Amino acid sequence: MNAGGQQAHGSTDVAILAALRREPGGFVSGTELAARLGVTRAAISARVRELRARGYDIAASPQLGYRLEAAPDRLVGDDLLAQLGSGVVIGRDIRVFQETASTNDVVERLARDGGREGVVVFAEAQTRGRGRLGRSWVSPAGKGLWFSVLLRPRWLPGEATRLTIMAANAVARAVEAAGVAGVEIKWPNDLLVRGRKVAGILIEMQAELDRIRHVVLGVGVDVNLERCDYPPALRDSATSLKLATGRAMDRPALAVAVLRALEADYRRLREGRFPEVAAEWADRCDTLGREVVLRVGEREVRGRAEGLDESGALLVRTEHGRIEPIVGGEVRLAH
């Protein structure tokens, strides 16, 4: 584990937070909690004091026990674990850094050290967050969701494009469920609201010719950024969920929703249900059915974006009438 990473305890705090969250608005008996966890009431009370110091507002009543009044606007690994529950792959281990260069780098190191599939690393701030095509990614403290997930699918390298599709679809679904209208996907995996980018996904892979070693799935969601958080050059093309909806959003709740959506869609992929996920992606995608210009490395491909193939590649009917599968690059609409 890198210095500076706060590793979730996976123990008493997770169990206390899970019990409190199971009773929204209600009390949880300290005696029952202590018995269930096999610790003393004094130990529970000490952990509650510690949780309060971490920003949790927990009411205590001698007769009734404890009640969660409010949680801090911070990402707390124990609390995310408590809400995801056991039995998940994505988020079975969650680590939160106050600041790191790039969560993709942290997860890459964990992967090389033999880390388990599903470990998630969040950072409240990234100093060298990066986007696709060598761009940098603005990641100010406490304003977004900047995280990476380690995946180890037993697929051919060419099939990794499916992860791009599933991640965009999952993040879009979670953002919509949080009450944001008009979320669209721009191929391959940008999330736009009213034409401006609110989230992006960076997939990095280590593979041999015939097998994926591991994939680092990096997700950046601009949640509560203000206009002044963006450099002037991005102010017309990027936005945050707060700027788009006019209200600040609960980041930790959105983090849980995004991780649950990723878990559900990654499971569907493992069960061979990629076509289902791809159909949902297509419904949200503003690129399909349009005349597009794709920049693929040094090459430019012009044509009509017709759909996805079974590996997740974009099928483009080119000017010459041929169908060409495209796995990465940048798209713009042709005029």
Q: Is 71 in the site for ligand BTN (CB under 6 A)?
A: no
Give the 3-state secondary structure of residue 108: helix
CB atoms within 10 A of CB 22: 11
Q: Is 295 in the site for ligand BTN (CB under 6 A)?
A: no
Quick one: 316 exposed, middle or buried, by C-beta within 10 A (0-12, 13-18, 19+)? Answer: buried
CB of 168 to ligand BTN, least distance (A): 10
CB of 237 to ligand BTN, least distance (A): 11
Contact 97/103 with Cβ under 8 angstroms?
yes
Q: Is 118 in the site for ligand BTN (CB under 6 A)?
A: no
Q: Which helix (H) or strand (E) holds 241?
A: helix 241-245
Q: Is 129 in the site for ligand BTN (CB under 6 A)?
A: yes
Residues in contact with 224: Cβ distance below 8 Å, sequence separation at least 6, in sequence order: 142, 143, 144, 240, 241, 242, 248, 249, 251
The end-to-end CA distance of the chain, in Å, is 50
Q: Is 100 in the site for ligand BTN (CB under 6 A)?
A: no
Nearer to ligand BTN by C-beta: 131 or 158? Answer: 131
Nearer to ligand BTN by C-beta: 52 or 135? Answer: 135
Spell out where the chain has E strands.
5-7, 57-61, 65-70, 93-100, 119-126, 144-151, 183-186, 190-193, 196-208, 211-222, 291-296, 299-308, 314-318, 323-326, 330-333
Binders in 211-270 for ligand BTN, by CB under 6 A: 218-220
Nearer to ligand BTN by C-beta: 137 or 281? Answer: 137
CB of 220 to ligand BTN, least distance (A): 3
CB of 148 to ligand BTN, least distance (A): 5
Number of residues that bind ligand BTN (CB under 6 A): 21
**Distance between CA atoms of 325 and 310, rounded to whole angstroms?**
11
Residue at token pair 């495209």: 326
CA dihedral 137, 229, 257, 215 (to 10 degrees): 10
CB of 276 to ligand BTN, least distance (A): 24
Nearer to ligand BTN by C-beta: 198 or 243? Answer: 198
Q: Is 131 in the site for ligand BTN (CB under 6 A)?
A: yes
Q: Using the rule CB under 6 A, give the single segment among 76-84, 135-143, 244-252, 289-297 that binds ligand BTN.
A: 135-143
Q: Is 137 in the site for ligand BTN (CB under 6 A)?
A: yes
Question: Two tokens at 195?
Answer: 């034409």
**Distance between CA atoms of 123 and 334, rounded to whole angstroms?**
38
Nearest residue to ligand BTN by CB is 200
Nearer to ligand BTN by C-beta: 132 or 173? Answer: 132
Binders in 165-204 for ligand BTN, by CB under 6 A: 190, 200-202
Residue ranges that bind ligand BTN, judged by CB under 6 A? 102-104, 126, 129-132, 135, 137, 139, 146-148, 190, 200-202, 218-220
